[in-house]
Amino acid sequence: MKRGRNAVLRLIRVWSGQYQHDVAAALHTDQSTVSRIEHGGIPVSEELERRFVLACGGVSVVQTLIDHLESLIERLNRNNNRLLPA
């Protein structure tokens, strides 16, 4: 499920408020490479995933995103509007 990992990296970048060119600069690459990473054109190794997340603000950004998603799920469940699996 490589496409899923790539999409999660895009979500992290967008959530962090970074643009592709910001992440590209931190990774010492160009914006088109970041786009290919996010859209599944480049396989994501654990090292690339780690560097990408750090470029977006690190673990604190990911934890904040997780916290917001958990809150959303709780609100939906309280209202009987359960999320359907993808």
More confident residue, 85 or 7: 7
Whole-structure pTM over 0.75, yes or no? yes
On whether the CB atoms of residues 72 and 29 are closer than 8 A, the answer is no
In the predicted model, is pLDDT for residue 84 greater than 70? no
In the predicted model, is pLDDT for residue 53 greater than 80? yes
Q: How many CA atoms lie within 13 A of 11 on its CB side?
A: 13
Q: Would you list the domain boundaries of the chain?
A: 2-78
- Under the banding of pLDDT at 50, 70 and 90, the label for residue 85 is low
Question: Which option is the CATH number for 2-78: 3.40.50.1100, 3.40.50.300, 3.40.190.10, 1.10.260.40?
Answer: 1.10.260.40
Is residue 73 left, alpha or beta, with left meaning phi > 0 and alpha meaning psi from -120 to 50? alpha
